[in-house]
Chains A and B, each alone.
Chain A
Amino acid sequence: MLDGLKKRMIILSITAVLLGFIIVLQIRSLQNVDELFFRDNVSNIFQEINILKEKNSALADEIEDLEKNLEQFDDQNLALDAIESEINKYKKLSGDFSVFGPGITVTLTGEFSTPWMIDLINHFFNSGAQAVDVNGIRITNQSAGFDTLPQGQIFLNGSILSEPYIFNVLGESSTLIDILELPGGVFDRLQATFPDLIIETVMKDVISIN
């Protein structure tokens, strides 16, 4: 009788220890899932330093260009050329004029949401995109805000966007793809959030954005 009781107690204790073990593992695995669905990158100090270094180098290049530009104003003819080239640069960037260049086309087919649309476009620009359009609407200072309609559709600049969502992204194709397709990067997180979403990326020599 006592032996039976002892045996049951041992079994009960082992089961309880295993139960505790499993509870902790489960909690930890759920935390990992949360991290996977997190909309922002989890990264480290070395990446931060690298970004700041690259940014400072880009700012230094911009200063060099601006200084050269300013020097041209000492001569009236050169000044007129400088103004003309400035007008051309801002025409390309303003979004009011049609542009073309190399880049990638990303096609998303399936369920998708406004917050992820915002994140994806943010990632395009962070990866070096110089111009982006989605379903034919260029993202500019005048058309940058997305809305969600009551039925869940994504609304931009007076138009309802429907799938497939086609993004034309102008920039250095290989750099864009390398960054977007990084393990744990935006495409991985997007796929983890929307398992049925089909993501197709094509590099192109010439893409037009109107």
Chain B
Amino acid sequence: MQKPFFISVLISSIFLGLLIVIQFSTDKPIESNFPLHELEARDNLLKSFIDDQSYLQSRIVNLRKQIDEAQNSIALQSENVNVDLLDSLKKAVGLTELSGPGLEIILDDSSLAYREGTDVTDILLVQASDIRDTINVLNAAHALGLSLNNQRVIATSPITSVGTTILVNNSHIAPPFVIQAIGDSEAMLQRLRDENSMIDLYRRFSQSQAVFEVALKDVINVPIYNGDLQDEYINLIEE
């Protein structure tokens, strides 16, 4: 008679304890602190920076093409221009478009995930580290050129996150994250399928049902690097 009573008191008390803690330690208000117009202003500000960035990047690509044409034209008129060296250096830096067979990898958040708002679900989202790991594996398999959401990724390209926003070359990108890689497709595919090469990613993605798809492509086009190239702290050692 007393035992079921004790058990029910015990369970109710534990439940009560849980409720008390949740009630008193809730640090997020049920409704947002931000008035609607502030959220809107914030989004508009972000959008304006992102729009400016797209314009600036396309202007850089355009100027580099014009300089390319001007250089070729000068090279035809003068024998003092080492065009081959210039071209090979541009290729090494990532300033030439590339085309060839390769892989297309799609990383996307789980269908149950929220990347924005107050119900963000980190565990179900693609993280910047997932993208970095994938690109590292492709580089280790000697990819000749890489792009992420149509932006050229070079060795100095940071891939970071600020909250749930992912940035490549400090430019905002949104899911799905499409990585395109030119190179030996079979070698790259083999590395990507090796779960030991990306243990974190495989473990998290199998739990979260986030998307990781790989497709072989006959032709992939990788654009030129559209960011800034800083060199003011580097000096050449004359040989």
Contacts and interface: CB of A to CB of B under 8 A. Distances in A.
Given A25-B21, A55-B53, A95 B92 contact: yes
In this complex, which of A80, A141, A145 has the most chain B Cβ atoms within 10 angstroms of its Cβ?
A141
A91 B239 CA distance: 12
B157 interface: yes
A58 B228 contact: yes
Nearest to A90: B89
| Chain A at the B interface: SS class | helix
A115 B155 contact: no
Contacts of A54: 170
B113 interface: no
B206 interface: no
Contact of B92 (A130, A140, A147): A140
A119 B231 contact: no
Given A23-B18, A83-B86, A130 B140 contact: no
Contact of B63 (A23, A70, A99): A70
Interface string A111-140: 000110011001101101111000000011
With a 10 A CB-CB cut-off, give which of A13, A62, A148, A208 has the most chain B CB atoms.
Answer: A62
| B16, B156, B157 pick with most chain A CB within 10 angstroms | B156
Contacts, number: 261
Contacts of A131: 234
Contact of B60 (A39, A63, A99): A63
B137 interface: yes
A18 interface: yes
B139 interface: yes
B56 to A, nearest CB: 4
B94 A21 contact: no
B207 interface: no
Interface in A1-46: 5, 9, 12-21, 23-25, 28, 39-45
Interface in B94-117: 94-95
Classify chain A's interface size: 35 or more
B72 to A, nearest CB: 11
Interface stretch (A100-108, A159-167, A191-199): A100-108
Contacts of B172: 48, 52
A102 B233 contact: yes
A17 B49 contact: no
A41 B129 CA distance: 10
B231 A89 contact: yes
A92 B231 contact: yes
B77 A119 contact: no
Interface of A: 5, 9, 12-21, 23-25, 28, 39-45, 47-49, 51-56, 58-63, 66-67, 69-70, 73, 76, 79-80, 83, 86-103, 114-115, 118-119, 122-123, 125-126, 128-131, 139-148, 170-172, 208
Given A40-B128, A96-B92, 4 more contacts: A16-B17, A20-B20, A43-B161, A43-B162
17 contacts: A16-B13, A16-B14, A16-B16, A21-B18, A24-B25, A39-B127, A42-B163, A49-B46, A60-B56, A63-B56, A66-B63, A92-B236, A94-B89, A100-B235, A119-B132, A145-B143, A148-B197
